[in-house]
Amino acid sequence: MCDCRFLPLFFIVFACWIFCCGPAPAAPVFSGQASKVIDGDSLEVVSGAGEKIQLRLWGIDAPESRQRYGKEAKLLLAAMIKGRRIEVQTKDIDLYHRLVALVWVDGALVNEELVRQGAAWVYEHFCQEYICDHWRRLQEEARRERRGLWIWPKPRPPWRYRHKNA
CATH number at residue 118: 2.40.50.90
Q: Is residue 13 part of a domain?
A: no
Q: Is residue 45 part of a domain?
A: yes
Residue 39 lies in a domain: yes
For residue 4, is it within any domain?
no
Q: For 24-82, write each residue's pLDDT tens digit.
A: 445 679 999 999 999 999 999 999 899 999 999 999 999 999 999 999 999 999 999 99
pLDDT at 16: 42
Indicate whether 23 pLDDT > 90: no
Report if residue 68 sits inside a domain: yes
End-to-end CA distance of the chain: 73
Q: Are 99 and 105 in contact (CB under 8 A)?
A: no
Active site residues: 56, 64, 98
C-alpha span between 139 and 125 (Å, rounded): 15
Q: Which residues pair with 107 in a beta bridge?
A: none
* Number of domains the chain is built from: 1
Residue 147 belongs to domain spanning: 29-154
Tell me, yes or no, whether 22 lies in a domain: no
Q: Are 76 and 109 in contact (CB under 8 A)?
A: no
For residue 126, tell me if it sits in a domain. yes
* Residue-level pLDDT at 24: 46
Give percent of the chain above pLDDT 70: 83
CA 63 to chain centre: 15
Q: Is residue 162 part of a domain?
A: no
